[in-house]
Structure 1
Amino acid sequence: MRGVSTLEPGERDELLERLEDYYDAVPRSGARTEDFGALTLFVREGQGWPFYARPTRGWRGEVTAAEVNRVRVRQRELGIPESFEWVAETAPALRAVVERSGLAVHAHPLMVLSPDVPTPEVPNVAGGVALRIVGPDDPVLPSALVVPHLAFADPGTGVGVAGVAELAQAVRAAAGDGSVERSAARIRAGLTSVAAAVEDGRALCAGQHQPVGKVSEIVGVGTLPAARRRGLGLAVTAALVADARSRGVETLFLSAGDDDVARIYARLGFCSVATAMIAEPAA
């Protein structure tokens, strides 16, 4: 099973329902919710990656433009990003409504690793880089949390400018903001698992998965731009797969940045099953 899923329609519908349950559950360990009828706004408690609004779980009607605009007003009041996320196949009419509100919509391949796909071997990486699951007291945790931010600020798969000096500066800038302590607490509680490719005591690439029961999503896999093209992202993803499987996860999924990134994940056995949508103000 490579690239594109061969699931029957009924199997895919069941899988997407399982993912919708997960999408509704996973933010609740770190956020409060606000009800806007057809939409639920997740508001993070404390610092960290901001959350978003999603279609309310179990809501059977369509999302209206008025509800989208009400959420956007509330997000501005709270000083958080005007961000919406959903799966195109489970809310097919939402894209047009969101675009009419003036937001830009981005589509990403939603990929799942089938339970019958063997756990992939973690690829070897050269140059003295070590792969490891990062514990709550691991000194590499601060750089493992920061490096994805540098990666996403310079998107794509090509080698970029930001290197170890920028990484060290970003770690210093984040010191004292509580992010390390919060992440360490989540690791201890089994809510988050972090994997990193480490060289000279710093994470050149890192990512996470966040299990809820037997479902987990791999998120935030990012490589320091200057360290790209070394296979680190693939290796970290494989390490996260192995860790998730060791924890009893049966349904493992992720959203790829684009089709080029999706082809990398397909090498580990992930298959595209749907389309993850993200809406935000145009740049």
Structure 2
Amino acid sequence: MNRLFNRNRMLIILFGIIVLILLIGFSMTDRNSVTKAEQFTGDLTAGSQVVIDAPVGFIGGIINKISASFSAVEENEKLHAQLEMLPQMQADLEGLEAENEELRETLDVSSRRSYESVDARVISRSPDQWMDNFTIDKGESDGIKEGMAVMTTKGLVGTVVRVNGNSSYVEMLTASSTGNNLSVQVTHEDETAYGNIRRFDDERNLLVVENIKNRSGLERGDEVFTSGLVGSLPEGLIIGKIVEVENDEYGLSQNAYVQLNSNMDDIDLVHVIKRNPESMEE
């Protein structure tokens, strides 16, 4: 019985293989029409593809939207950061414009100054009068005269008070008993105030400018220059910056405390400013 069952099963399998081969051969022949079985199989495949593509497309759309959202968030953050920088960019622009205007004014002022400089070196400086005076290696033979300004590349340091043939004696702005009484000017918001250097405050290490008119509006950071109104000093030589302004003891004028630009403790190479006599006559 079992042997008969096995033989029948083998015949069925063999018949199925023969039918499958015939169907494959039939489907590979050139035909203008398709069978019902092929139509059913094609429709089933297409339907399955639609069923599969629908959720895949839906999920892909969600992923694309999420990606676009992240891109939009990142772009918004960049735009927000740029907006936050606008005040700083505006401040930088205004600063550059002010600096350019200042440079133009400086160049214009410089063109009206008539002076030349003589390079000199400090050859003598007494330890016990270190902040009072020093001697340079240029004198009368080099055209140096009393009252001429002496400065470093940073700013004014003193004036020539005695001239020899090949050397000169310079009194510093920090001298304990200065007799220079230099006239200076300070420009604040297009307004110029004038004053005089009277003394150096040893305790605070600041230069004191007196006789400034009240309500001048001077502030910390305003730069102080020579005025060119008195003596042999030309206009516009930088001295330092204001660190404090106060009324004098009588309340009639103001005093300004000035931080010198030059390092008065370390002076080696200097420039003696020779003002054109014609500019002094004007």
Over alpha carbons, which structure has the higher Rg? 2
What's the TM-score bracket when you normalise by the shorter of the two chains? under 0.3
Structure with greater contact order relative to length (CA < 8 Å, sep ≥ 6): 1
User: Whose helix fraction is larger, Structure 1's or Structure 2's?
Assistant: 2
With normalisation by structure 1, the TM-score equals 0.23
